Amino acid sequence: MTEDTLKTGTTTIGIKLKEGVILATDQRATMGNLIAHSHVQKLYPLSENIGMTIAGVVGDAQLMVRYMQSEIAIYAMKKGAPMSVSTAATLVASVIRQGFYLGLIVGGYDQTGGHVFSIDGAGGYIEDNYMSVGSGSVFALGALEAEYKPDMTRDEGINVAITALNSARRRDNCTGDGMLIAFIGPDGYEDISNEEIRSRCAALGFQFPN
């Protein structure tokens, strides 16, 4: 992998809530020391009840998203029921071993509640209450450690995700620009609007990145 490979250095976050999960990312892509793009999509719905964040090589990430969206849709048609979050994470972990330069978070809501899994490039996957993947993860994890509490609400989870992303963007030069946040709960996948994120940043005393 060369220095001119387009990568999402990034900070990605997954948080388990009382009734659902929060997935969040920044929007910066880098090519070596160059900030190549400022509005990169790093958060994707895989189905109505599952989402995924991406960190790593952009081309690999886009291929993984398309593959998983297709596989989950086929599974739902064959089984007549949505894929569970655990099954989706297991499938991603199996596929990533084929040579994808990625670090991923798979999160969602199913009949057993909300779940978030971190998945590394070797195919290891771990479920936890909160996690961060990417170059800014060490800074985000510090904020998550301080702010997380069990059984948080949707609103509390969004604010904690914003706080963690803000910590990462201030200290990691590969993290920055916009923020993407989604809530996945009993009613399915919900993108949090840019207007709501900006409003919450202001209320928390943070400057919205770009």
Flag whether 209 is in a domain: no
Answer yes or no: is 130 within a domain.
yes
In a domain, 18, yes or no: yes
State the angle between helix axes of 85-96 and 58-79 in degrees (0 to 180), rounded to the nearest 10. 140
pLDDT at 175: 80
**Residue 84 located in a structural domain:** yes
In a domain, 172, yes or no: yes
Q: pLDDT tens digit string along 83-103? A: 999 999 999 999 998 888 899
Report the pLDDT value the prediction gives residue 8, as an integer from 0 to 100. Answer: 54
Q: What's the first-to-final CA gap in the chain, in angstroms?
A: 29
Q: What is the CATH number of the domain that holds 58?
A: 3.60.20.10
Under-50 pLDDT residues of the chain: 1-4, 6
Confidence (pLDDT) at 54: 93
Measured in whole angstroms, how far is the alpha carbon of residue 23 from the centre of its chain?
Answer: 4
| Contacts of range 190-198, beta carbons closer than 8 Å, 24 or more positions apart | 192/158, 196/158, 197/158, 197/162
Distance between CA atoms of residues 73 and 92, nearest Å: 14
Answer yes or no: is 178 within a domain.
yes
Instruction: Specify the number of domains making up the chain.
Output: 1
- Residue 58's pLDDT is what? 83
Domain boundaries, position 48: 7-204
Catalytic residues: 10
- 2 occurs within a structural domain: no
The pLDDT value recorded for residue 20 is 97
The answer to whether position 150 is within a domain reads yes
